[in-house]
């Protein structure tokens, strides 16, 4: 990670565009973070240093809830089908990108992914599954977390670990462990929110979480996602 010696001075708890639901308004991979246009330069710097990424200001269909509408990994990005052509061109300058064109297309909500696997909304069509598999370059399995189909907000996956909704069942956790071959644990963010994917941006190099997140919640995040 760049400037590792300065990391202790960075803010791990931040809001983006005034919101603690970081995973709704933004998303990241190992190399990139996609954020709304109104994010401050200070926040951009903090994200880049904390996550070891390059930040890309963007929108999807004119919307700034990018985290709900885009999911990517080191191989590519899948985005909601209503993305504008000019927005698509801008994102494609940085990463291979494909649209989800079905009725279910809010990719960030529907897909939990890292660089090796993906768990997705169980009602996604075979065509959408094929787009995800080809674009992200991973095997894809349908499933739920805590009975929720919006697995992209019910969990957060990096290449080191997975943190999920506290009501995830033992069977769901076993499936995640099998699919991703990584440790899985339960937790919350933003003072008790079970939708952990909505409150964290994380990769194997670092993380940031919403300002409402408590110390015990951060301890669980760090332990589960493998930060020393």
Domain ranges in the chain are: 10-225
Please give the pLDDT value at position 11: 81
DSSP string for 144-180: -BTTBS-HHHHEEE-SS-EEE-TT--HHHHHHHHHHH
Residue labelled with tokens 């768990």:
119
Please give the pLDDT value at position 228: 74
Give me the count of residues in the chain: 228
Please give the pLDDT value at position 8: 47
Give the C-alpha separation, 119 to 142, whole Å: 6
Average pLDDT, the chain: 95
Pairing type for strands 77-80 and 207-210 reads: unpaired
DSSP string for 34-71: EE-TT--HHHHHHHHHHHT-EEEE--BTTBS-HHHHEE
pTM over 0.75: yes
Pick the CATH number of 10-225 from 2.40.37.10, 3.40.50.20, 3.75.10.10, 3.40.50.300: 3.75.10.10
Please give the pLDDT value at position 68: 98
pLDDT by residue, tens only, the chain of 228 residues: 444 444 445 789 999 999 999 999 999 999 999 999 999 999 999 999 999 999 999 999 999 999 999 999 999 999 999 999 999 999 999 999 999 999 999 999 999 999 999 999 999 999 999 999 999 999 999 999 999 999 999 999 999 999 999 999 999 999 999 999 999 999 999 999 999 999 999 999 999 999 999 999 999 999 999 997
Percent over 90 (pLDDT), the chain: 94
Please give the pLDDT value at position 7: 45
- As to burial, measured by CB atoms within 10 angstroms (0-12 exposed, 13-18 middle, 19+ buried), residue 127 is exposed
């Amino acid at each position: 990670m760049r400037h590792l010696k300065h990391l202790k001075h960075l803010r791990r708890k931040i809001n983006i565009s005034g919101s603690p639901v970081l995973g709704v308004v933004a998303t990241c991979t190992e190399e990139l973070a996609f954020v709304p246009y109104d994010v401050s330069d200070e926040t951009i710097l903090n994200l880049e240093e904390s996550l070891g990424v390059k930040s890309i200001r963007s929108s999807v269909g004119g919307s700034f809830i990018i985290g709900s509408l885009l999911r990517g990994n080191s191989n590519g990005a899948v985005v909601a089908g209503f993305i504008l052509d000019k927005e698509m061109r801008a994102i494609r300058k940085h990463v291979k990108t494909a649209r989800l064109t079905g009725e279910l297309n809010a990719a960030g909500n529907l897909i939990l992914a890292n660089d090796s696997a993906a768990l997705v909304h169980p009602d996604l069509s075979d065509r959408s599954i094929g787009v995800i598999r080809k674009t992200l370059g991973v095997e894809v399995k349908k499933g739920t977390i805590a009975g929720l189909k919006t697995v992209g907000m019910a969990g957060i996956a990096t290449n080191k670990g997975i943190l999920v909704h506290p009501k995830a069942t033992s069977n769901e956790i076993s499936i995640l462990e099998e699919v991703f071959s990584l440790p899985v644990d339960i937790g919350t963010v933003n003072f008790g929110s079970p939708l952990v994917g909505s409150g964290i941006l994380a990769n194997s190099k670092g993380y940031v979480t919403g300002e409402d997140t408590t110390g015990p919640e951060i301890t669980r995040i760090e332990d589960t996602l493998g930060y020393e």
